[in-house]
Amino acid sequence: MVSAQRAVPARVQRAWDVLAGVLDPEVPALSLCDLGIVRDVREAGDALEVVLTPTYSGCPATEVIEQSVREALERDGLGPVQLKLQRAPAWTTDWISEDGRRKLREYGIAPPGHIEPGAPVAIRLVPRRIAPVACPRCGSTHTEQLSAFGATACKSLHRCLDCREPFEHFKPI
């Protein structure tokens, strides 16, 4: 995100403001900024360059995200827009903002926990349940995983054993 220590050109700040309203196509309760997909916005000559990191390399929503970013910025008169996909470092759920985590809970999806710095890659690829997943509806941690996969590959399906409601959990990666 934008560093508070450097002066941000007005056009770049306006772009961040616009992008804060561009919703993720798979989880429309979150903006691309909430998810941490928008990594940087900078001026590149006459163009505005937007750096995006997809949630994973095979994410089927990548093209839709690129189109949504371009359209939003051009509609606001901030074009021309250049998009750059940056796959390294790989996106991590730690990039989801605290506001994004709150929005996930309100939407009915349990947000991911944070990953310990230096955790082995195997843990990131096959998340282990170290702590119970809290139900986004009642807050209970008396929950169980029903399936390692939910509606999308980045979520798993759970059920609260107290309120009996099913819910998805955004997997930490």
Q: Is this structure's pTM higher than 0.85?
A: no
- Mean pLDDT over 44-71 rounds to 93
CA dist 114 and 96 (Å) reads: 10
In this predicted structure, what is the pLDDT of residue 6? 66
Cross-strand pairs, 104: none
pLDDT, tens digit, 9 for 90 and up, residues 147-156? 998 888 888 9
pLDDT, tens digit, 9 for 90 and up, residues 81-138? 999 999 999 999 999 999 999 999 999 999 998 766 655 544 444 444 457 899 999 9
How remote is the C-alpha of 36 from its chain's centroid?
5
> What are the residue ranges of CATH 3.30.300.130 in the chain?
10-85
Computed over every residue of the chain, the mean pLDDT equals: 88
Q: Name the CATH superfamily for 10-85.
A: Fe-S cluster assembly (FSCA) (3.30.300.130)
